[in-house]
Amino acid sequence: MITAERKPIDEIRAMVAPYKRVLVLGCGSCVAECAAGGEKETGMLSSTLRMANKMEGKDVLIEEKTLDRQCVKDFVILLDDIVDQYDAVLSLGCGAGVQAVAEMFSEIPVLPALNTEFLGETRDQGYWVENCLGCGDCMLDDFGGVCPLARCSKQLFNGPCGGSREGKCEVNPEIPCAWQAIIDRLDRFGSLDRLEQIYPPKDWSRKQGGGPRKIMREDQRR
């Protein structure tokens, strides 16, 4: 999933300062899972902004709404009947959600309340870990289900660097060595012979350099 963290409140207040009517827009998908932009977080941020304005004697309308997903047109279109009531939208969606709303409602500023971070997994409650870079050419089968791009601090493809100690990365002893995990898993599967292959440098053209990537499935279009 996509993870995100809320921007500092001073930065958010500076963004919305020019506007008198603001819709705080939450997203009930990825950013809700990582406790950054769901209905609860949207309500908390709205209350914080209202309280700050009241304490400073400012007459600002702060209202809130949460969509199931900000990155899907079928949900964003639900704003059609209300968006013209506001001077700006403060989005608690990921970067994709902010841009989706901004593209559909180009007549109104759409401001980001979150910093989008990474693709990761929920490892435990309140604990999210990056494990995918979205490179466009998945090689998890070659590396025992462990991505060396996302999980090795040096993004090495052909074995460990030699600096790890007791299964920990030399960059930071709190980081597990990705290559130790790769070797352990391949050994468990009886597939250590895969490490005899020499892997060329990653072809990043699948990820960047050609403009925004697209996926089009004709069988899913209507």
Per-residue pLDDT reduced to its tens digit, 179-188: 999 999 999 9
Count of residues in the chain: 222
Quick one: pLDDT at residue 204? Answer: 81
Query: If you classify domain 2-118 with CATH, what class do you get?
Result: alpha beta
Per-residue pLDDT reduced to its tens digit, 121-177: 998 999 999 999 998 899 999 999 999 999 999 999 999 998 999 999 999 999 999
Domain boundaries, the chain: 2-118, 133-200
Per DSSP, the residues of 47-106 read HHHHHHHHHTT---EEEEEEES-TTSHHHHGGGTTTGGG-SEEEE-S-HHHHHHHHHHTT
